């Protein structure tokens, strides 16, 4: 059972890394689920303080993730159309353009098209606003990815310290 929890935990950590860039998966919260599964094994001592602190960080990142792209868009004069366009462009870019260019170009193009839908006559403002939405998306993704990588390192450190007990 411990090996199954270990493998499922590692899968959640991996999905959390991917979820840092995809709006469908909450990256750090998914990665935290991997830490939780690791600590549910009989091998790793349960450290509720550690799990509580890492959960609080994951929830905080989950909440501010909704504000960072909007702040970037607003800072550069954008609208909600630019934020929605960024998300839609991200998905389209992932399927039609090779990674990592797909989500980068898709997010920018989506924000630009979204801003043009809001006001089709002002392309200068649309470019500026789409740049803001793109910067907000990159800032948010960087924060989520960084936290997910830290959770991966914590997962691997705990596993490494108790690896003998898993396979004995």
Q: Each residue's pLDDT tens digit in the chain (168 positions)? A: 889 999 999 999 999 999 888 777 889 999 999 999 999 999 998 899 999 999 999 999 998 887 887 777 778 877 888 878 877 887 787 777 666 677 778 878 888 898 888 877 888 888 888 788 778 888 888 999 999 999 999 999 999 999 888 887
* Cβ-contact 85, 113 below 8 angstroms: yes
Contacts 24+ apart (CB under 8 A), 143-146: 143/61, 143/64, 143/65, 143/68, 144/19, 144/20, 144/21, 144/27, 144/28, 144/61, 144/65, 145/17, 145/20, 145/21, 145/27
The pTM of this model reads 0.81
Angle at 71 between CA 64 and CA 91, to 5 degrees: 75
């Amino acid at each position: 059972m411990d090996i199954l929890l270990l493998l499922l935990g590692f899968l959640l950590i991996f999905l959390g890394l991917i979820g840092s860039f995809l709006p469908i998966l909450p990256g750090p919260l998914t990665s935290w689920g991997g830490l939780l599964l690791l600590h549910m094994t009989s091998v790793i001592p349960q450290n509720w303080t550690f799990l509580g602190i890492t959960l609080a960080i994951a929830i905080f990142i989950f909440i501010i993730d909704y504000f960072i792209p909007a702040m970037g868009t607003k800072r550069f004069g954008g609208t909600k159309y630019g934020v929605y366009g960024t998300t839609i462009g991200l998905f389209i870019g992932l399927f039609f353009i090779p990674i990592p260019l797909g989500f980068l170009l898709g997010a920018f193009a989506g924000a630009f098209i979204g801003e043009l839908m809001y006001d089709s006559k002002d392309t200068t403002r649309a470019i500026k606003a789409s740049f803001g939405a793109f910067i907000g998306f990159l800032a948010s993704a960087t924060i989520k990815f960084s936290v997910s990588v830290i959770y991966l390192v914590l997962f691997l450190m705990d596993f490494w310290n108790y690896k003998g007990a898993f396979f004995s």
